[in-house]
Amino acid sequence: MDAPLPRLQQIPPTVASVADYEPLARERMTPQDFAYLAGGSADETTLEANSAAFARWTLRPRVLRDLAGGHTRLTLFGQPFLYPIMLAPVANHALLHPGGELETALGASALEAGMIVSTQASRPLEEIAAAATSPLWFQLYMQPDRDFTAALVRRAEASGYRALVVTVDAPVNGIRNREQRAGFRQPVGVEAVNLRGMRPPPAVASDPGMLLLGGSLLSGAPTWKDIGWLRSLTRLPVLLKGIMTPEDAELAINEGIDGIIVSNHGGRTLDHVPATIDVLPQIAAAVHGRVPVLMDGGIRRGSDVFMALALGAKAVLIGRPYGYALAAAGAPGVAHVLRILRAELEVTMALSGCKDLAAIGPDAVALRAG
């Protein structure tokens, strides 16, 4: 088997879209690590649907509109952003590049993009904050050790993170068949360093005939009660990531949550759930502007960003696109992906007659006929 190629020292002019980074990343990763990054859950129907679902929508461009003074600026939770594209939380960046999240932070900072740092980052959250000049949010997996969870929140606050993003759709990992077939194992030296020192969950008596349900692994899984507890710990905005139904969006608002991220975990947890763009409109309608709604899943073009904004999102998150770019070219690749998507968004806005984000409404898109 051929060894992975060295990372790009210069981005070739043939990289015209974010999709062009995927084959470049494949050539520079082991098959096992690439399976970890690229794969989804089970038969990967949701993974494929996330991107394919955008093709069901069309743009409705308006012409001869005044575009003077146009921009892509927005404010979320009192924080200014230049454009509505953020880096989603992705675990173990050291699998993709030796610099790990520090390299990602450099790329995000170069384009002044918001970055959400994973609990399972391969670098300490304090080091990542010290390396970044763009806004950082901290993604939190609530741990069975609630005292340790509270300590993580305090560390994030002390390091200057400006929001907490609580992932709620993964109390256990999904069925990752692609990883299994590739023989993926966490490499020596790559670990979730921010979880060092956490106490193991207490043993729970369970039926020896059960595999998962009724066992100790799920006994410490968070519930709505724990969300209320977490909300009481911090003054930071708290968003829930992994909301896929209007019912859960309503429950989140009732718990005092500050924002919602419509997400199916990039198709990595439960297979055969809808694409996020398909459920975004009904969730946005249920929320009715009470809190910001963000969205991830399948974003590969600036026109995808535009469609998500038209259907109710205030901003979007990208995951695999910048992961591929990080693996292929490090920080310059991450910055390049952000630049491509922002440029494509601005072109789409201009050609659709929308000079700012407020002008992008549901009348800017339509379901494809037939």
- CATH number at 139 reads 3.20.20.70
Report the pLDDT value the prediction gives residue 1, as an integer from 0 to 100. 60
Using CB atoms within 10 Å of the CB of residue 116, give its burial: 0 to 12 exposed, 13 to 18 middle, 19+ buried: buried
Match 């009660």 to its residue by tokens: 225
Q: What angle do CA 58, 268, 283 make, to 5 degrees?
A: 50
- Give the phi and the psi of residue 217 in degrees, each rounded to 5: -60, -40
Task: Quote the domain boundaries for residue 290.
Answer: 26-187+220-365
In a domain, 207, yes or no: no
Domain count, the chain: 1
In a domain, 340, yes or no: yes
Largest CA distance in the chain: 70
* Pair type for strands 74-76 and 79-81: antiparallel
Match 């304090």 to its residue by tokens: 126
Q: Whats the size of the chain, residue-wise?
A: 370
* Pair type for strands 365-367 and 57-59: antiparallel
Across the chain, which has 370 residues, the per-10-residue mean pLDDT values are 90 97 98 98 98 98 98 98 98 97 98 98 98 97 94 98 96 93 94 92 62 63 93 96 98 97 98 98 98 98 98 98 98 98 98 98 94
Report the pLDDT value the prediction gives residue 200, as an integer from 0 to 100. 79
Distance CA 82, CA 69 (A): 14
Match 């009724």 to its residue by tokens: 214
In a domain, 64, yes or no: yes
Report the pLDDT value the prediction gives residue 199, as an integer from 0 to 100. 84
Distance CA 42, CA 50 (A): 15
In a domain, 39, yes or no: yes
Q: What angle do CA 125, 127, 133 make, to 5 degrees?
A: 95
103 three-class SS: helix
Catalytic residues: 265
303: tokens are: 């026109």
223: tokens are: 């519930």
29: tokens are: 């990763």
What is the DSSP code string of 31-50? HHHHHHHH--STT-HHHHHH
In a domain, 324, yes or no: yes
